[in-house]
Structure 1
Amino acid sequence: MRAFFKQVFLGLPAIMLAAAFITGCSRQPIGENGKMTEKVSISANQPGDELQKKYPDRFTLSDHPSGARFYAAQWPSDDRGTIEVGRQGQAFTLRYALSATGNYSSAFPGENIIEWDVNTGMDSSSVIGHDEARRRFMALLQDIRKAGWKRYVDQGFPRLAGTDAIRYASLTSPVYGLDPDYQPTLDEWMKLPGRALWKFWSNQGYLSLALSRDPNRVDVNQPGAYFIEVVLLGENEQFRKMVGPARRAQWKDALPEELKLLAQDRQSAEDVLRAQGIKIEETYQDPPVPEQLTSK
């Protein structure tokens, strides 16, 4: 399932991106124009009933025959939302939110909402200058780091930083997570993969940000349009995705062998890169795996 895991974050359908790129709004962030902006708070493994109780008019509930349950919120393009991601004391804020969907699975009832998907823009308008977008996005990444989230490199991938990570994502794997502590120049920013990824982990779960740019607005001297998809997973759900859908129900039994295979993939990739003179970030350490999941 290693190939499946490496493809799990591939791009959104073009129609979804197009819809996001053409929407605009007049809402400003909190405090601007004296307007109060609604803010909702979400976190991994959050109880759905508490969410509905706290925001009774915001989230709609839908049940799927499979046993899945979805808590969905949408904001109009002229009145976007503000979302606080993470539990108190370790949260960061997303502005200009378009939608948020929480996924509950009856197969794992004790885990509550196992996944959040949030779609958001970069500005109150549908367009923004490319350099301004770069500065805002890098500021968001630093807010995430300050909130206690650490960089995450998928176990099957080499440990690279800075421009080496960008080059690997551009030439080898579009799902490779870039270095959040490296601030690209404007020229590097304009050459990022069409859907660039940054990934994090903390004691709150696993987080990914996918940044997409309107391919029809790539003139650096003209405004661009950007779209951000944020995925927040509970820890167990992250591991289940690692072993793939075929072994989802037996993920605890499948995980130890999968981790061994992923470690071999990383070693092989890093050996090739070292031979090319590329620096491997030896100080990077994978997130801890709960002991009960590796002692099978």
Structure 2
Amino acid sequence: MNESLELKVNESGSEFLKRHGDRFALVERPPGVKFYTAKWPTEAPGNVVFKQGNHSFSVRSVLSVTGNDDPNFSSENILQWHVNGGISDADLIGHDDARKTFFSLLQTIRRAGWKRYYMLGEPRLTKSDAIRYARTQLPVYGLDPDYEPTREEWMSLSNRSQWLFYADHAYLSVALSRDPGRMDIDREGAYFVEFSLVGENEQFRKIVGPKRRATWQASLPEELSLLKAEREKTEHALKAQGIHIDEAYVDPPTPRF
């Protein structure tokens, strides 16, 4: 049976190592950032349980895990986790099987109560409109986890296409990559998946950017105002083209300072 471990964002490093210290290496690098890392061989990948409040789900075929803190925000403990692995334990998989397997994973996340997240400043698009926008305008645009792409759409996805979620003051991104040399639809492909789980405060620090990281709370209101205006402008132009906007969607609340 594959090894399994449990990840929580904002958990203290000492508590985490009590559970998994035999598996993880702890490395401290300047300026005092602690990294918690683990790796598995391809022939014996690991399992990971993302445990965020009541929104737990598990993933298989994990090859590496890395988490880190930040001494400037020590009270937030481990700020983020990055998990890398395959779409299945096999090195190669048929493209249509990969499509179905990956969509099943997205539905597992949704059933665990994770909601779709639109990056602030970006238009609220669904289904094939989201795929088309990512292909023609913004490759890193978060796609619709409730829409199963057709075979043709699946094969047209850009490398590192991503799906974004939030739940219980945490944010999750799921990025899909594949070997560009194995794109023949009639042959098997090689797929890779990266999960990134970050706490609420860290997510909003990323929004204001590294130059204002130390003063992120003071900088956030201005940035949110600019992003709101940017989204409104983009959505207005898309509506004029007859493209549906997901106006029922409401952004998650901002952190409570």
Is the TM-score greater than 0.5? yes
- 1:120 corresponds to which of 66, 80, 85: 85
Counterpart amino acid of residue 158 in structure 2? P
Is contact 1:138-1:183 (8 Å) kept?
Answer: yes
> Take 1:41 and 1:229, find their aligned partners in 2: how far apart are those partners?
16
- Larger deviation, residues 118-127 vs 233-242: 118-127
**What secondary structure sits across from 2:188 in the alignment?**
coil
Decide which moves more: 121-130 or 239-248: 121-130
Q: Which structure 1 residue ranges, 4+ long, deviate > 3 Å from structure 2?
A: none
**How many Å apart are 1:237 and its aligned residue?**
0.1
Query: Measured at CA, do residues 139 and 99 of structure 1 come closer, stay the same or move farther in structure 2, by a change above 3 Å?
Result: same
Query: Do residues 283 (structure 1) and 248 (structure 2) align?
Result: yes
Is contact 1:94–1:120 with CA below 8 Å preserved after alignment?
Answer: no
In structure 2, C-alpha distance between the alignment counterparts of 1:184 and 1:139, rounded to whole Å: 12
2:69 is aligned with 1:104: yes
Over aligned residues, Cα RMSD in angstroms?
1.0
Letter in 1 for 2:186: N
- The answer on 1:161 being equivalent to 2:122 is no
* Kept in 1: contact 2:52–2:167 (CA 8 A): no
Match of 1:6 in 2: none
**1:263 equivalent in structure 2:** 228
User: Is the CA contact 2:173–2:195 (under 8 Å) kept in the aligned structure 1?
Assistant: yes
Matched residues in 2 for 1:263 and 1:155: separation? Answer: 7
Task: Give the secondary-structure state (helix, strand or coil) at the position aligned to 2:17.
Answer: helix
Post-superposition offset of 1:138: 0.5
In the TM superposition, residue 204 of structure 1 has moved relative to its aligned partner by 4.1
Q: 1:183 aligns with which of 135, 145, 148?
A: 148
- Cα-to-partner distance string for 1:24-47 (whole Å, 9 max, x where unaligned): xxxxxxxxxxxx221100011121
| Matched residue, 2:165 | 200
**Matched residue, 1:44:** 9
Q: Deviations over 1:243-279 (max 9, x none)?
A: 0000000000000000000001101110111111111
165, 176, 181: which is aligned to 1:211?
176
Instruction: Give ranges in structure 2 of 5+ residues lacking alignment.
Output: none
Three-state SS of the structure 1 residue aligned to 2:26 is: strand
CA distance in 1, matches of 2:86, 2:27: 25
1:66-121 alpha-carbon deviations (Å, 9 max, x no partner): 12110001001111000001236311111010000011111111101001011010
- Which residue among 236, 252, 260 is the counterpart of 2:201? 236
8 Å contact kept, 1:44–1:204? no
CA distance in 2, matches of 1:88, 1:160: 28
Q: Is this contact kept in 2: 1:52–1:59, CA < 8 A? A: yes
Q: Does 1:222 align with 2:190?
A: no
Q: Please give the residue correspondences for 1:129-148 in structure 2 after superposition, counting only pairs within 5 Å.
A: 129-148=94-113
Q: Alpha-carbon deviations, 1:221-250, whole Å to 9, x = none? A: 100000011110000000000000000000
Q: CA deviation at 1:291?
A: 4.6
Give the match's secondary structure for 1:50. Answer: helix
CA distance in 1, matches of 2:94, 2:186: 8
Paired positions, count? 257
User: Helix, strand or coil: the match of 2:192?
Assistant: strand
8 Å Cα contact 1:86/1:204 also seen in 2: no
Q: Percent identity at matched positions?
A: 51
TM-score, structure 1 length as denominator? 0.85
Distance apart, 1:290 and its partner CA: 3.2
Matches within 5 A, 1:51-90: 51-87=16-52, 89-90=54-55
The range that moved more, 124-133 or 238-247, is 124-133
Partner of 1:16: none
